[in-house]
Amino acid sequence: MASSTHIRPATAADTDLIVELVRDLAVYEKLEDMFVATPAVIREALFASERPPAEVLIAELDGKGVGFALFFHNYSTFLGKKGIYLEDLFVKPEARGHGLGKGLLRGLAQIAVQRDCARMEWSVLDWNTPSIDFYKSLGAAPMEGWHVFRMTREAVGALAEGSPGAK
């Protein structure tokens, strides 16, 4: 019997599933030590406000949540249009090979078209060649000449207080 797949928007009832999937992603990316989100924090951020900072699509295989895509809008001043930034995309290893990753990206592309977004962007770890190859197979291309920068909470605080460069 063929497996049944479905992509749908997340609801507050999915909070524990989202936390589980994010934890699984952190393990996969070898970043588990950075994972600190709790169900309460995720529920508050994604489902308790009128304008949540991010949205989530859930991938289901035979009625069970096995993957997710978390995204939010960004804006291009050059294009004068909003875009979609894909923060996280993950499908549990045992559920791969059923088209769920492609389904999540297709769902995200449909949202981008519906909302008149100019583009979709995301980052991928340089060692993650299976994902890089997958993204390229869908028509995505790496951005040449760009580097991702990040300031930690401590660096942001230092800069806000006038001591840039403090760690």
So which residues are the catalytic ones?
135
Residue 43 burial class via C-beta count within 10 angstroms: exposed 0-12, middle 13-18, buried 19 and up? middle
Residue ranges of alpha helices (H) inside the chain are: 15-28, 39-47, 100-114, 129-137, 153-160
Q: Report residue 26 CA to chain centroid gap.
A: 12
Q: What is the distance, to the nearest Å, from the Cα of residue 108 to the centroid of all Cα atoms in its chain?
A: 10
CB 57 within 8 A of CB 68: yes
Residue 139, classified by CB atoms within 10 Å of its CB into exposed (0-12), middle (13-18) or buried (19+), is exposed
